[in-house]
Structure 1
């Protein structure tokens, strides 16, 4: 795929990138608060607690980010099929979650940096930057793709049962009160 560097495309990309960054900042704060809250309480001293806290904090941040991205950052490109879009967002977010999770695992278990500070750097600095780049690319070009949204909007969906209900006659043939139904 060739990148189009036209001014029009850039003028649409920059505001979206800023909104995505703001939504991501909220998600970052949610992730940071939940991660540290879990590490200082529930998972304090628990073997593999860092991994569990990373997963839980990321799931909560994913839910927060989906709302912000769907209704603000990518509002103009959101799909009409909310369920499918939500599933796609969740799939990309899970794949993106693997990035900070890998960074925490590498730092904690391979490199031996086991302090809370080291875990935060691996999760919330290195993992966050790499995961953010990955997620923005896939949200922009797959989940909330303007071209894909336009293409899906043009495809008619056949729902015979729904069409039958919406195409009922306004009167029943041969009924004595013909013309009254649906008035």
Structure 2
């Protein structure tokens, strides 16, 4: 039996650590409580995904390299490249969230968040502010910015939210 090449498919710790150091959920929650009507959540989401994209371009792991190769060969960035960036951002700052992908095709990418660390921390501090979904702008702008940065035309809808339906559902339709 010959030597087999071992492939590492994990996200580089350097990426996750950098995002966690710059984008603390505890600091986010403090600011959302203090400034519930401000653009803080919008800017936080935009900056998080921009930094995620930059770090992943600078520090490519095996999965990132494979996705880039497949994208180049097939001319399809959607849904796999944006999905990868979203996964990195979520795993970095929300590792305890329960989220899943409900549709991942050439036309749609939908995901659900059931146990949201940000919402849960907001609710512990101030349930009224949490139920106003001040975190909604963060998620929507993070997702919109992701696709804009990648030059992908999409339609985004948030069809459910945690206070009303026990989960947030984000539906993305690829428009070209």
- The TM-score bracket by the shorter chain reads 0.3 to 0.5
- Higher RCO, 1 vs 2 (CA within 8 Å, ≥6 residues apart): 2
TM-score (norm 1): 0.35
